[in-house]
Amino acid sequence: MKKKIGFFVGSLRKDSYSKAVAVALSSLFPEEYEPIFIDLHDLTMYNQDLDDNGTPPAAWTKFRDEVKQLTGLVFVTPEYNRSVPAVLKNALDVGSRPYGQNIWDGKPGLVVSVSPGALSAFGANHHLRQSLVFLNVPTLQQPEAYIGNVVNLINEDGTIAENTMNFFKTIVDAYLVFLDKNS
Ligand code: FNR
């Protein structure tokens, strides 16, 4: 059976650069892996009352079941106000509860941050890593993946230049070694 790799994109925007980068990264995984894009559009905001009284929204249950099937986690995120967009933080929160049922626990992660700006969403990258420490997601340290000036890396037709794809491949290859060691 193929190992499922979940892709979590921190943008809901139709023409998201982060999504385009995530799609490019997913194309570089070998045959024995199945990239799965986890849809975060309808993930209700976390409210602990709904877990406490046993009425979690169907979207939470579906999401938690999907994540439980995954071998690896790839987070591709833009930066909102120097931090992680709420949609992605909410996904982390929903997956972390009810208390003691953290679905992220022990699954090896990759963090990639994306920005049209030169600072490459460094703030989002490291705020995300901070949460992943608490959630016990071992995360690839090197190479770090800061994708800045992304507008210049993606062509009008969505294709990506060969040298950028080569860089993406070094990230994916390092993650695959890390995944193997940690799962
Ligand atoms: C942004 N953007 C942004 N960019 C950045 O590099 N650092 C930041 O702190 C912010 N803050 C921010 C806040 C909000 C609310 C929005 C909507 C945008 C710009 C952002 O990088 C740009 O819109 C990207 O195109 C968003 O990523 P996607 O949707 O293309 O993946």
d(CA 88, CA 94): 10
Give the containing element (helix H, strand E) for 5. strand 3-9
125-172 pLDDT per residue, tens: 999 999 999 999 999 999 999 999 999 999 888 789 999 999 999 999
* Cβ of 18 below 6 Å from ligand 1: yes
CB 111 within 8 A of CB 75: yes
Atom of ligand 1 nearest to the CA of 15: 30
pTM over 0.95: yes
Over the chain, what is the mean pLDDT? 97
* Cβ of 83 below 6 Å from ligand 1: no
CA R_g for the chain:
16
- Under the phi-then-psi rule, with left for phi > 0, alpha for psi from -120 to 50, and beta for the rest, what region is 42? alpha
Where do the domains of the chain lie, and which CATH numbers do they carry?
A: 3-182 (3.40.50.360)
* Cβ of 154 below 6 Å from ligand 1: no
d(CA 180, CA 108): 9
66-83 pLDDT per residue, tens: 999 999 999 999 999 999
Q: Is the ipTM of this complex over 0.90?
A: yes
